[in-house]
Amino acid sequence: MAPFVALFDLDGTLVDSQVGILAGFRRALRAVGHDVEESAIRHWIGPPLEQSLLELGVSPTEIPTAITAYRAYYTGAGVYECAPFDGIEAMLSALRDGGVVLAVATAKLVDFARTILEHLALAPYFSAVAGAGQNGLVDKSVIVGDALELLGFPDPQRTVLVGDRRHDVAAARAHEIPAIGATWGYGGEDELRAAGATHLVRSPAELATLVLTELAPTH
């Protein structure tokens, strides 16, 4: 039987990275003369950067300047202002020891994603890391497709995507794979339920139990 595969979103699913992201957004918005409430910025952590900036009121012509300002901060400091959510490493260890193949599919620039995983000593758990290219203009479903390609197109019936936002659920549905909603992240249970997540889990330990005892053996 083919191994079971779990794709993970990064921000809000594996890693609490909002400190660095919020600081980057503040600098991006300031660079184009926008003043946005932090609660509004917090709502847009997770989707691709360009999409989030547009939703926050940045015009298409201002996007390059805003992105440059964001990355100038994030490259030097923001990328390191993060930590794994409680229980993440134990969950990853349990899944790996249970024979599950793990990969990351994130709207973050792939170089940033690799830096974070290495900084937090999580990189060894993952067989593949897929993310946005240098222009950052990639839909999440495209990134999930890239992750699946890197893994050799695993059986959709033995693959899941774990994420915390509706965009993760939509990307999973686009590839006809189940979506597990991580309710500890930035989207919350209501958003994930409304988006049609196949399963909801409230802790990394609950996620490991779901995959190892219900999903992986029965597909």
Catalytic residues: 9
- Find all residues with CB under 8 Å of 37, minimum gap 6, and list them: none
> Quick check: helix, strand or coil at residue 207?
helix
User: Which residue's structure tokens are 């890239």?
Assistant: 146
User: Angle at CA 43, nearest 5°, toward 87 and 120?
Assistant: 30
- Find all residues with CB under 8 Å of 148, minimum gap 6, and list them: 7, 154, 159, 175
Alpha carbon distances (Å) from 2 to 103, 134, 154, 174: 16, 34, 8, 22
Residue 2, both tokens: 């083919």
